[in-house]
Amino acid sequence: MKLCAILTLACLHPLLAADADLIFHDGKIVTADARFSVAEAVAIKDGRITAVGRSADVLKRERGSRTRVIDLHGKTLLPGLIDAHVHALDAGLSEFRRKRPAFASIAAIQAYIRERAATTPKGEWIVVPRTLPPRLKELRMPTRQDLDVTKDHPVAFDASYVWSANSKALEVSGITRDTPNPPGGEVVKGPDGEPNGILRNADGLLKGVSRAELFTEAEELSALENMLRLYAAAGLTAVGDRAVTGKDVALYEKLKAQGRLPIRAVLTWRLPTNADITELEREIRDSPWTTNKGDEWLKFGTFKVTLDGGQSVGTAYQRMPYGPFGRQLYGQTNPDSRGTLFVTPDKLYRIYEAAREKGWQLTAHVQGGGAIDTLLDVFERLDREKPIAPTRSHVMHGSFLSEDAIARMKRMGVALDAQPGWLYFDAPALERVFGRENMRWFFPLRSVLAAGIPVAAGSDHMIGHDKNGATNPFNPFLNMWISITRRMRDGSVFYPEERITREQALRMYTTGAAWMQFSEKERGSIETGKLADLVVIDRDFLTCPEGEIRAIEPLMTIAGGRVVYAIKQ
């Protein structure tokens, strides 16, 4: 009886295996496998890929009576795309209650203030949502005079690490020419010695300003879910959320438990570093989190420290001074300023030592060249004790690399989490700050890839719901186009020798990102046995005119065999 049962099951197995849930055929299936092969069809069952190959073969072997069959009519199908760097909850909440206007100039900011002043009770704060000075037409920080379009409301302009305030805001906060600078910050003065409204790392002096709206947990869950669905509509099947707190983790876990997680999420724990080192070591040791805890729908990825500020506001820690143009663009008063390093090397080493002992993959927010060098110094110190390569630790952002930094990363096996969109948006202004010759190693993706350094691409999306109009656009095809063309928003091409191929650009959003997330055996390419994460697009990524790459639109996004987005016909 036992042998008979085994034989019966063996005979039935081919029939069961052939009953695929879904088959795509007659398409251009760009597999992104090791050979970057192109197929015609792919079959899916129980959330995994069961066959890839010629249409006739896949249909013959995999189609059953219950199989849904989709004819692609020659359309291109890619592996599900992965944005390795987003801030999903902040982004979701940024337009949860109202649409955020586009701020391309100080005039647009002034119009926004006037509009809000008309409906805001006198005396209440008006906060201009985060806007980056290099993306304003005037290429400068607004001053109090720019923000004085209302005298009845305190106004604050959020530029991340640097804020501006109008005269009313300075008055209600008690900020005068005699106000001492806070540690590491500056109340910037004008030629008359009075505060000009710019507060560099000193926004904590503003009194009564609410830096964030209050939301209920239900609203936060809704905002997070909606943002993840907008990512799916952009062709993304997984994201790396790069700065989570305990509250964020709880929201993700609740979405998953309620079946409301449309795409995969890999979480990065960012630990604030102001506390004493022994307290930080204890917190790391006692945390229940570590790399790869979870599953392919929701898991932990990286441990993160913020090492420097931002290139967009002149607080990224550079190898060279920001110079005279830094006064205009960032409101800096010291032309010799190189930015800010938030953590000492010795403290960073001890933090990382504790995190690595816990089992974490390591990274740090580093934009300036000086911060990159500091991070690599600490990585080398760790590497001498025990090789760091197996942890897949990486440089996060790494805007201002160098030949030496690339060589050190290659030697240690350190990867790169890159934001190519900043080349398009910020390089024109940064070129005026540092000079073109000093920008040679600004996102040198071809050199990094040629060195054999793994690269995962991301947007650093945190504000706005429009995939092309957000502060950091999360449209993966726009960011791939930027990497391929190195074209800036002024129309010029920036160091064309660092252009990369379409295959390399796609791999940064597929196999490269999957590898960084310890998921290369499950995701990142279209291969038998892997999770069925796919995206159908409206034109051929490999052969369409170069200028059309940024305009590619997803027609359908599939995560784990489920359709999570489909264009409305």
Q: Which two tokens stand for residue 333?
A: 């008063």
H or E element: which one contains 230? helix 217-233
In this structure, how many other beta carbons lie within 10 angstroms of the beta carbon of residue 349?
17
Contacts of 567 (CB under 8 A, 6+ apart): 553, 554, 555, 556
State the pLDDT at residue 504: 98
**pLDDT tens digits for 371-398?**
999 999 999 999 999 999 999 999 999 9
Phi then psi for 532, rounded to 5 degrees?
-85, 75
Cα angle 326, 330, 335; round to 5: 30
Which of 116, 140, 135, 139 shows the shortest CA–CA distance to 127?
116
Q: Which two tokens stand for residue 569?
A: 């016909």
Q: What pTM was computed for the model?
A: 0.94
Q: Which CATH number applies to 82-88+214-307+342-562: 3.50.50.60, 3.40.50.300, 3.20.20.140, 3.40.50.10540?
A: 3.20.20.140
Helix (H, G, I), strand (E, B) or coil at 550: helix
Ranges of H-type helices in 47-188: 55-62, 88-94, 106-117, 144-147, 167-173
The C-alpha R_g of the chain, in whole angstroms, comes to 25
State the pLDDT at residue 4: 41
Tell me if 554 sits within 8 A of 534, measured CB to CB: no
Q: Where in the chain is the domain with CATH 2.30.40.10?
A: 2-74
Which of 217, 302, 228, 300 shows the shortest CA–CA distance to 259?
228
Pairing of strands 41-45, 22-25: antiparallel
Ranges of H-type helices in 131-275: 144-147, 167-173, 217-233, 246-257
Name the CATH architecture for the domain at 2-74. Answer: Roll (2.30)
Tell me if 478 sits within 8 A of 420, measured CB to CB: no
Phi then psi for 23, rounded to 5 degrees?
-130, 130
State the pLDDT at residue 100: 87
State the pLDDT at residue 110: 97
Rounded to whole angstroms, the Cα distance separating 498 from 29 reads: 28
The type of residue at 121 is: P
Strand stretches in 271-414, DSSP E? 298-306, 361-366, 394-397
Strand order in the sheet with 195-200: 126-128, 155-159, 162-165, 195-200, 186-189
State the pLDDT at residue 213: 79
Collect the ranges in the chain with pLDDT lower than 70.
Answer: 1-17
Cross-strand bridge partners of residue 25 = 71
Q: Which two tokens stand for residue 362?
A: 């390591």
Contacts of 89 (CB under 8 A, 6+ apart): 220, 223, 224, 227, 241, 248, 251
State the pLDDT at residue 414: 98
On the 0-12 / 13-18 / 19+ scale of CB atoms within 10 A, 520 is: middle
> What single DSSP character describes residue 494?
S
**pLDDT tens digits for 64-110?**
999 999 999 999 999 999 999 999 999 999 999 988 888 999 999 99
State the pLDDT at residue 327: 85
State the pLDDT at residue 210: 79
Q: Where in the chain is the domain with CATH 3.20.20.140?
A: 82-88+214-307+342-562
State the pLDDT at residue 3: 33
Pairing of strands 361-366, 48-53: unpaired
